[in-house]
Amino acid sequence: MVRIRILCCLGIVLIASRVLPKTEFLRVHNPTQAFDRYGNIRWEDEKARLDNFAIQLLQDSNYLGYIWVLQAPSMCRAEAQARAIRAKKYLVNYRHVPWNRVMWVTGYRPELETVFWILTPDQVSSPPILDNESPPKTNVAIKGCAKRLALINRSKFN
């Protein structure tokens, strides 16, 4: 009698698994919209946003993360690149996202902006392109660049 009940329950589960639609439990990301974007914020606040980005990337091993850091004319020459590298190092070294699943790109905008995108492999062939402006033509000397870049490079992860 017990065997018959077990077999009936297994049969019902088997039939239900084939008839009922499958449910996707992972958050589906809209590739036409950035995952997150922000301007000039403190490193502590940026780490919180990077944590959310890492969680989303680690949910599915097919996800690839793109970090765009768009440099403003008032920034030091290599500051956008230093910020992008710092963000990637944080994701890889502290949040343990595989190094080959995070890419960074720099560009130019009137204001500093960092944008995160999450893409699947089929979307990588045509990743979203931001409207980058051309680099500023003026050679304005910005004071304290060495100090700024050193501060970015010394940022602690914990």
Whether the Cβ atoms of residue 72 and residue 111 lie closer than 8 Å to each other? yes
Which one, of 52, 58, 56, 51, lies nearest residue 29 by Cα? Answer: 56
Query: What per-residue confidence (pLDDT) applies to 9?
Result: 47
Query: What per-residue confidence (pLDDT) applies to 77?
Result: 86
Query: What per-residue confidence (pLDDT) applies to 102?
Result: 95
Cα(2)–Cα(153) distance, rounded to whole angstroms? Answer: 67
Q: What is the pLDDT along the chain (158 residues), one digit of tens a residue?
A: 655 555 554 455 445 445 444 433 344 445 557 899 999 999 999 999 999 999 999 998 888 999 999 999 989 989 999 999 999 999 999 999 999 999 999 988 899 999 999 988 777 655 556 655 666 555 556 788 889 899 998 888 76
Q: Where are the domains of the chain?
A: 25-153
Domain 25-153 has CATH 2.60.40: no
3-state secondary structure of 145: helix
Cα(10)–Cα(76) distance, rounded to whole angstroms? Answer: 66
